[in-house]
Structure 1
């Protein structure tokens, strides 16, 4: 799928026109965003030079590695163009909680916790991924469940 954007300051109303072979999931997602104007339900991500629109509810956690941000959905990891802080402040729907300096976790995807080294916890997600919960964030995590 390719996206072409033409900027014209003289137009009165912005329009979106799509030429598609068939109406699939991606087209439906784009249609919902355009019609509802609620882009906070979706994030734009990249994998292998392709752009995807990913529903936030499908993201188990957001992680930062080597200065880049990633959204994890199912068994796949997609690059996110913004920072974790940006996601936390602007995109989070209240279901995400910071569990470390490098990770935000979706409470709906949490499966169970295990004791880790040096007082931290290991969080296991329903999709099989694991993340470390820093001692610093354990209290806030507990508050999220009360």
Structure 2
């Protein structure tokens, strides 16, 4: 299957159109995968593959050359780069080193130098850099 991606600032949200001669199993599976997106993230820990529902994730941080995933009760390390996770639906990058789950936001607090701090529902806090602040403001409707 040939895939083509076009970026345009006019697109409010991603959408896909599949051109095909016949809607066979492969095409239907691709369409369903696009519709659903991925609801899980997998990490390798202690010789096991751990499956984490993305709704359980609070924050993902690039730390010491690895990506650390934070849930309400555990932390996991992933070899995947942080940029691989920022495309998860419902997640947004807030700094060079951090991606957050937008459903887990508790509040925002302004800081000096035009930056902001976000506090998540589990008490974790991180700084939103000025570079990513416009995206957060757009998300909040400001």
CA RMSD of aligned residues (A): 2.1
The number of residue pairs the alignment matches comes to: 108
Unaligned runs of 5+ residues in structure 1 are 1-35
Greater percentage in helix: 1
- Given candidates 105, 116, 129, the residue that maps to 2:100 is 105
Q: Tell me, what secondary structure is at the counterpart of 1:136? A: coil
Matches for 1:1-146 after TM superposition, within 5 Å? 40-89=38-87, 92-93=88-89, 95-146=90-141
Mapped to 2, the partners of 1:116 and 1:47 lie a distance apart of 36
TM-score by length of 1: 0.66
Q: 1:117 to 1:56 in 2, by over 3 A?
A: same
| 1:75 and 1:127 in contact (8 A); partners too | no
Which stretch of the first structure deviates more once superposed, 97-106 or 43-52? 43-52
Q: String of CA shifts for 1:17-74, please: whole Å, max 9, x gaps.
A: xxxxxxxxxxxxxxxxxxx977811111244554310001111111101111011110
TM-score by length of 2: 0.67
Mapped to 1, the partners of 2:115 and 2:129 lie a distance apart of 5
Q: Report the CA distance between 1:115 and its aligned residue.
A: 2.4
